[in-house]
Structure 1
């Protein structure tokens, strides 16, 4: 099978993440990086020194698509220019819904005229997060959704959890559920031989946590959680009714640039089958 050959436009954190992801993808090939003329004269730093650099995508030879990794305010101009040269594009600018649909309309007109595809919203948000939200709503049609970014840390509750026997370190995230009631997510680093069930019982029975919904998770190192660059808690609770009271929870800490790069690569795999015009990633998958 012939590999899909892609250019990376931009060399910020997202551009680097796309290069790293491309190097690990057996079905994709990195054609090179496109930078501004004053930057393209210089080789990239290690470990990217061997990557070809150009000031225009045409200097990289034939490509099957371009991953647009520029700031959101520059995305539309860059993507339109690529489409005018009949280069399919994938972008993941973090923008609100109104801006996303404005960009979709603007790129659709150029893409149809030049008979090439474009895929928008192929990042973490908009992109993967939207898929989770839609799936939660599909599974629980009647209910309320709560989304929190970077959950707040409760220092007092964290300190209390650290005092529990068997706990080496702890971090407590403080949230509010859809009903307004407090929720606690306690991450514990256990001492050797400690029992998680016993620690969990001790945490939830502590007077500080009584009357609050509390969940306890074991982690290798609490310090790594405190240094994490991005966090999200997505929950959906079904309205009261017959049978089980449905609820879903997604909790994660991750590198949003790495996640966005992986989504962009998945979108690029859809390019050969896409009709001419601009498409939303969430509709394609």
Structure 2
């Protein structure tokens, strides 16, 4: 089996998990990790890792089959994917859905021009939940879909909080509406909006001299993040933040209900419970890096999402093995 040559760049927490995951794959070879730090060989992993300065990344265009972009910040991912899809097939982990159509169009244009393939917005939502929702609604076209987030740390929303004027540090939890969740499971099919399916809780460390009420109002009025949900804001010390809010768990429930002739009903439920979200996200990125490589070899190019990729392309097995063992 030929080895897929992988490059990795981005935020350290997710990057480190991707490095470990790539090194555990039989069909992948880690070529280099790119960062702003001085180039060196890092031995803190199970295998030595070559590090290169980020400005040298384009020099590796003929040595890397797929670049995994681990940047979590909205603006970083948006710019980096657009830039690096000139040189590499790429996969990326995060982008708010509100900007995804524009991002897809721009990356598609660049990737096609340079005969590259990019797979965007790979995580659990958007990502795995998107894929499962498509499957559920395709087989139950008459019905309702409900998506509940369990008590989870939202990395994207937390990063957005930290950019609010007057905020020194922050973390945001998404909470499920338990009564609505149980009502759906009982088949009562309540009419509730996405905003009513969850609420948000923010823990904020203020910058010195910041007005807490101004900060609270600025957070609760943020469009696309907090304005459409009930958001409770708590102000805490940096010590409390360090002691009580360093977890990165994620959980969620997707339910599709359907009603058919003679009153017969169906309910499909998909659950996801992650003790450490970066580890899961890394696994998703690595699996879809495999798909990006395989599809690029077949001549595909442009920008894709998880909805466009055949599931068989992410598995480290050939078609015959999958048919024999999964069907």
Normalised by the length of structure 2, the TM-score is: 0.60
Structure of greater Rg: 1
Whether contact under 8 Å (1:7, 1:57) holds in the other structure is no
Deviation at 1:242, TM superposition (A): 2.2
Match of 1:283 in 2: 308
Partner SS for 2:281: helix
Determine if contact 2:122/2:284 at 8 Å carries over to the other structure: yes
Give matches, 1:78-89, under 5 Å. Answer: 78-84=80-86, 86-89=87-90
Could you tell me which residue of structure 1 aligns to residue 101 of structure 2?
Answer: 101
Pairs within 5 Å for 1:56-95: 56-58=56-58, 62-70=63-71, 71-84=73-86, 86-95=87-96
1:282 to 1:141, Cα distance in 2 relative to 1, 3 A = same
Residue 175 and residue 230 in structure 1: after superposition, are their counterparts in 2 closer, same or farther (change >3 A)? farther
CA contact (8 A) 2:77 2:95 kept: no
In the TM superposition, what is the alpha-carbon distance from 1:228 to its structure 2 partner? 7.1
Check if 1:231 corresponds to 2:251: yes
Taking the aligned partners of 2:249 and 2:265, their CA distance within structure 1 comes to 33
**CA shift digits 1:192-245 (9 cap, x unpaired):** xxxxxxxxxxxxxxxxxxxxxxxxxxxxxxxxxxx7711101111112532631
In the aligned structure 1, how far is the partner of 2:268 from the partner of 2:65? 39
Secondary structure at the counterpart of residue 146 of structure 2: strand
Which of 255, 259, 262 is residue 280 of structure 2 equivalent to?
Answer: 259
TM-score by length of structure 1 reads 0.68
Partner of 2:144: 144
Deviation of residue 42 (structure 1)? 6.1
Distance in structure 1 (CA, Å) of the matches to 2:178 and 2:248: 16
Name the counterpart of 2:134: 134
Cα deviations by residue, 1:56-114 (Å, 9 ceiling, x for unpaired): 32465711010011122111221222223x21111121411x31111111111111111
- Matched residues, number: 217
Structure 2 unaligned blocks of 5 or more: 153-176, 192-246, 311-327
Question: Any idea what SS the aligned residue of 2:261 has?
Answer: coil
Equivalents in 1 of 2:9, 2:20: separation in Å? 14
Deviations along 1:125-157, one digit per CA (max 9) or x if unpaired, are 2221111111111222111111111259xxxxx
**Among 174, 177, 180, which residue is 2:178 paired with?**
174
**Aligned equivalent of 2:269, options 233, 249, 261:** 249
Contact 2:78 2:95 in 1 (8 A): no
Residue 53 and residue 175 in structure 1: after superposition, are their counterparts in 2 closer, same or farther (change >3 A)?
farther
- 1:83/1:150 Cα in 2 relative to 1: closer, same or farther (>3 Å)? same
Q: Distance in 2 between matches of 1:146 and 1:67?
A: 31
How has the CA–CA distance of structure 1 residues 280 and 240 changed in structure 2, closer, same or farther, with 3 Å as cutoff? same
The answer on whether the counterparts of 1:124 and 1:256 sit within 8 Å (CA) in structure 2 is no
Q: Hey, what's the Cα distance between the residues in 2 that align with 1:149 and 1:51?
A: 36
Cα separation, 1, equivalents of 2:39 and 2:63 = 21
Give the deviation of 1:43 after TM superposition.
5.8
1:252 and 1:118 mapped to 2: Cα distance? 26
Provide the C-alpha distance between the structure 2 equivalents of 1:90 and 1:228, rounded to a whole number of angstroms: 22
Q: Assess, with a 3 A threshold, how the Cα gap between structure 1 residues 48 and 81 changes in structure 2: closer, same or farther.
A: farther
SS at match of 2:141: coil
Change (3 A) 1:9 1:122: same
